[in-house]
Amino acid sequence: MDADFWDARYGSRERLFSGNPNGVLVTEVTDLPPGQALDVGCGEGGDALWLARRGWRVTAVDISRVALERAAASAADVAERISWSVADLTRTPPPAQAFDLVTVQYFPLPREHDHTALRGLLTAVAPGGTLLVVGHDLADLPPNPDGDMNPRDFYQPAEIATLLDENWIILIDETRPRTAPAPAGTHHTSDTVLRAQRKPDSVAPQ
């Protein structure tokens, strides 16, 4: 799950994902006024490009340089609105209170006892800003999935909801049908969705 793993995965084919923005992002963010957005695990840039073309200024972060180079090659029309950053947000937290939107779409954030990396992402949301976390419904998976990682080892949106304190308003915490067909070779028919707003008068912990 390090940079070499993801570089190899993205490098294994010309395009790993569709290039379209994630359906939940489109549904939940269309009516928000543009501001500063953090796209966590941006991959090939479908979400970042969609946000930038709607007026957002986007910090798009991924651990894979291969993915970011591919994403940047598609962004000539909005190059000034997107900052592509190679970083591991499980090790280096983003700036505190800097983003009106922090979007975390199917990002495998490993569960930690002290929640350090997760709290770094939460702290990045500015007062009045939105946190949007989307995952695959684990009910769609076999009890013991094969492969390089077990999704049950990573934070799920509903779990993150239980860790939010009184400075947050939970707007959505639900499971819903996917708006797009499941990725090839998978059985993902439903998404789990958390949308929360940091209260405008709150101050994120330093």
What is the per-residue pLDDT across 170-194, written as a single tens digit (0 to 9) for each? 999 999 998 877 666 666 789 999 9
Fold of 3-13+21-198: Rossmann fold (3.40.50)
In degrees rounded to 5, what are phi and psi of residue 192?
-105, 135
Q: Is 200 helix (H, G, I), strand (E, B) or coil?
A: coil
**Who wins on pLDDT, 92 or 151?**
92
- Comparing 12-21, 22-31, 120-129, the range with the smallest average pLDDT is 12-21
| pLDDT category of residue 151 using cuts at 50, 70 and 90 | confident
CA separation for the pair 35, 52 (Å, rounded): 10
Measuring CA to CA, how many Å separate 171 from each of 96, 101, 133? 22, 14, 12
Q: What is the pTM of this model?
A: 0.88
What token pair was written down for 102?
A: 């922090």
Kindly list the domain boundaries of the chain, sorted by start residue.
3-13+21-198
Q: Give the mean model confidence (pLDDT) for residues 160-169.
A: 96
CA separation for the pair 166, 203 (Å, rounded): 11
Cβ burial 47-74 (10 Å sphere, 16+ → b, else e): bbbbbbebebbbbbbbbbebbbebbbee
What pLDDT score was predicted for residue 42?
Answer: 92
Q: Are 98 and 126 in contact (CB under 8 A)?
A: yes
What is the per-residue pLDDT across 96-132, written as a single tens digit (0 to 9) for each?
A: 999 999 999 999 899 999 999 999 999 999 999 999 9
